[in-house]
Amino acid sequence: MSSELENENVLPLLMRTPNYKHSLGSNRDKFIPNPAATSATVLQLFEFLGMLIAFSLMQKETALSLSICSVMWKHLTQQPLDESDLAAFDEMVCQSLNKIVHIEDDGVDEELFADIIFETFTCQLSNEVQVEVCEGGSDIDVTWHNRQRYCELVMRKRLEESRPQAHAVLRGINMVLPVRLLSLWTHKELELLACGTPDIDVGELRRHTRYGVSVDPNDTHIRILWRVLGSFTPEQRALFLQFIWARNRLPSSEAEWGDQSMKIHTLETAEPDKHFPVSHTCFFSMEWPRYSNEQIAKEKLTYAITNCLDMDADATAEGRANMAMASNEEDD
């Protein structure tokens, strides 16, 4: 469901940040509400998203695999928005506004300003639609004297472009939980509670890992596994967790971890470099071949997490071993 919500070809709700399109700044993998999503039908879908967020807040075992920029979460918690929130989804515009405000630092005076700046009181939203930032803005030229006001209005317009969608999300949340409770959290806390840890902490994952009876944590192929995971990007680590556990975020606290742990078995074969790792998502487990070097291991695991997304039946010796490990944990 989260994947569909973030798929622009499936639903017109969320879109990639301008930072993604420009390959500039942070949060290139995150999403923002589509400013064009204002019809009654689409706003109802945002209300449904709000209900999903409320459910995830109520159930600790439920986490939404959503990567939404801070501007949305701040709208939900009613925290003030600032320049950093604009930079979080459109670094290029943020830099341009700062350049205009402090243009004298580049040796530009009032006379030269008129020769190099040809803007009016308009701006382009994240969906590339041009809008006025004030009434009649398309007929008002940006000058040396009004440039500060222009930048303030553009900043406000861009930060407010998600407000209609955020209000719809709040209506959805309020169908399940009183929205006044959201003010108890910061925007970061709310995102953490709703979506879990945004990146996969390899150290934390390692602390919550158990090994099969024939596996020594100091085995060469096990050390290679941890080096490969450490070299992965956040997106690749999320794909790895999806591959092995059908989730792309870790639990947000030790209490949520409970007795859960990742389990690693050795895939015994005469030619390990010719085999891919095998996951057992129902048991948060993986069979890992004794790869001869890190490069081969990384290539094999990268292919597996990118292309092998079907859950298996776990009807293997390792699957039965996982069941035995789980049974022993319950007996303990």
Query: Which region among 92-106, 181-195, 317-331 has the lowest average model confidence (pLDDT)?
Result: 317-331
Domain-embedded: residue 133: yes
**pTM of this prediction?**
0.67
59 and 123 belong to one structural domain? no
Q: Which entry of 69, 151, 282, 308 is annotated as an active-site residue?
A: 282
The residues with which 278 forms a beta bridge, in sequence order, are 287
Q: How far is CA 106 from CA 109, 119, 294, in A?
A: 9, 18, 49
Per-residue H/E/C for 264-319: EEEECCCCHHHCCCEEEHHHCEEEEECCCCHHHHHHHHHHHHHHCCCCCCCCCHHH
Q: Considering only residues 314 and 84, tell me which one the structure prediction assigns the higher pLDDT.
A: 84
Is 151 marked active-site? no
Residue 260, domain CATH: 3.30.2410.10
Domain-embedded: residue 95: no
Tell me the mean pLDDT in the region 5-10.
88
Find the angle CA(229)-CA(31)-CA(257) to the nearest 5 degrees: 45
Kindly report, residue by residue over 197-223, the tens digit of the pLDDT: 667 899 999 999 999 988 999 999 999
Domain-embedded: residue 101: no
Q: Among 38, 29, 34, which Cα is nearest to 66's?
A: 29
Tally of domains in the chain: 3
49 and 187 belong to one structural domain? yes
Domain-embedded: residue 309: yes
184 and 74 belong to one structural domain? yes
Domain-embedded: residue 92: no
Find the angle CA(182)-CA(57)-CA(200) to the nearest 5 degrees: 110
Share of the chain above pLDDT 90, in %: 70
Question: How many CB atoms sit inside 10 A of residue 99's CB?
Answer: 14
Domain-embedded: residue 96: no
Domain-embedded: residue 256: yes
31 and 126 belong to one structural domain? no
Domain-embedded: residue 267: yes
242 and 229 belong to one structural domain? yes
149 and 65 belong to one structural domain? no
217 and 272 belong to one structural domain? yes
Kindly report, residue by residue over 232-265, the tens digit of the pLDDT: 988 799 889 888 987 767 876 787 788 889 999 9
Structural domain that includes position 121 = 107-158
72 and 178 belong to one structural domain? yes
Residue 56, domain CATH: 3.90.1750.10
235 and 312 belong to one structural domain? yes
Which residue's structure tokens are 């078995």?
Answer: 265
173 and 63 belong to one structural domain? yes
Evaluate if residue 48 carries a pLDDT over 50: yes
DSSP 106: G
Tell me the mean pLDDT in the region 36-64.
92
234 and 294 belong to one structural domain? yes
